[in-house]
Amino acid sequence: MKTRLREVPVEEAVGLALAHDLTQIIPGQFKGRLFRKGHVVTEEDIPKLLDIGKAHIYVLELGEGDLHEDDAALRLASALAGDGISFGEPSEGKVTLKAERRGLAVLDEAFVRSVNRIGDIVLATVRRDQVLQPGGAIAAVRAIPLIVPERKIAEAEALAADWRARHGSAPLAVRPLRSVRAGLLVTGGEVYSGRIKDKFGPAVRAKLEALGSTVAEQRFAPDDRQRIVTEIHYLLGRGYDMILVTGGMSVDPDDRTPGAIREAGADIVSYGTPMLPGSMLLVGYFGNVPILGLPGCVMHDPYTSFDVLLPRILAGDRITREEIAGMGYGGLLHG
Ligand SMILES: Nc1nc2c(c(=O)[nH]1)N[C@H]1C(S)=C(S)[C@@H](COP(=O)(O)OP(=O)(O)OC[C@H]3O[C@@H](n4cnc5c(N)ncnc54)[C@H](O)[C@@H]3O)O[C@H]1N2
Ligand code: MOO
């Protein structure tokens, strides 16, 4: 049987089932489903349908080889979703894939492009390595026409199966974040002496806690290289998973932090990150323990190079020089 789609004037539609969800949009107030697919039209529905601009409805008999938009979207979602992702019912032809846990978005730009080349179906995603909170959307899939040739979904499923065969995992997933205990060293004579109140400590603490980690201990040092080195060694000795040193990261004579981190014996991956704010950030390692030098902007700006790199470290990635070099493209968050 071939698919049959019949247009019926709404005045004659009482008793017929809607072939798809119907959307209402009232700017500033509402956007969503007014009628659900399968809803049987009643006399009272007629003015509501006319209000949203529907003078006709479709009556659909689906033929072989064709899929309804909702089923197409559901099949696509199942083909794509991997670890840490769940999805619910389709709504208005769309299925949203959501993170089940806090983590990083795993996806590949070329793969997303290949799915979107097929046509009639769309896959929109967040960017790779974006932080997702539980329930946050990683992707949405939608059929564009009401009726989608099944072969298009089969093509997308084949791409997903090929991806799984080559990578051993689904094309979309959420990587969990480790919960680390960080040692924090706040530098700056003006803070150490009590001239001004420490604002860096609370800011860094809040950023870690938002990702499920903690500042286990906070220390203070004046702008003295040797004192900073001593405090870094103290925090290393305490066995923390990560060392964070704040302030003194730029070019003034009192900016001792980069030199102290080097002198403490860290392998410096890079000092200088091609991202603004956060260009004066330093990344290094003591063995497997990352050490980051955090410039002043991390304290007052909610999104800096630190906020890009921290989740990567928590996901277990080792940051390389090459990766830092890659941050410049799109890295001008604000000048
Ligand atoms: N001539 C240049 N000027 C600046 C450069 C540069 O390359 N050349 N870099 C700029 C960038 S980018 C940043 S970011 C800032 C800050 O860098 P620092 O990490 O050296 O920050 P500080 O000088 O230590 O402090 C700046 C500012 O913030 C206050 N502060 C620092 N720590 C705390 C704290 N724990 N609690 C409260 N307030 C704190 C400090 O008193 C200063 O007012 O440099 C740009 N300039
Ligand atoms: O380390 Mo600074 O912005 O680049 O604000």
Domain residue spans in the chain? Answer: 4-61, 66-174, 181-325
Listed residue (46, 52, 36) closest to 8, CA to CA: 46
Residue 178: predicted pLDDT: 97
C-beta 277 within 6 A of ligand 2? yes
295 Cβ inside 6 Å of ligand 2 = yes
pLDDT averaged per 10 residues, the chain (length 335): 91 93 93 93 96 94 93 97 97 95 97 98 97 97 95 98 98 98 98 98 98 98 97 98 97 93 98 97 98 97 97 98 96 86
Length of the chain: 335
Strands 173-176 and 103-106: antiparallel
Q: Which CATH superfamily is domain 181-325 in?
A: MoaB/Mog-like domain (3.40.980.10)
Question: Is 295 near ligand 1, meaning CB less than 6 Å away?
Answer: yes
Ligand 1 neighbour 301 (Cβ under 6 A): no
For residue 12, how far is its CA from the centre of ligand 2 (angstroms)? 65
How much is the pLDDT for 54? 95
34 pocket-lining for ligand 1 (C-beta < 6 Å)? no
Nearest residue to 19 via CA among 1, 7, 2, 30:
7
> Considering only CA atoms, which residue is closest to atom 15 of ligand 1?
296
Q: Give me the residue label for tokens 């890009």.
A: 308
Long-range contacts of 285-292 (CB under 8 A, 24+ apart): 285/318, 286/236, 286/243, 288/318, 289/236, 289/240, 289/241, 289/242, 289/243, 290/242, 290/243, 290/319, 291/232, 291/242, 291/243, 291/244, 291/245, 291/261, 291/264, 291/266, 292/242, 292/243, 292/244, 292/245
Cα 254 to Cα 20, 138, 173, 187, distances in angstroms: 67, 44, 45, 10
Q: What is the pLDDT of residue 334?
A: 81
* Domains 66-174 and 181-325 belong to one CATH topology: no
**CATH (one of 3.30.479.30, 2.60.40.10, 3.40.50.720, 3.90.105.10) for 4-61:** 3.90.105.10
pLDDT of residue 168: 97
Give the class (CATH, top level) of 66-174. alpha beta
Choose among 153, 143, 146: nearest CA to 120: 143
ipTM over 0.90: yes
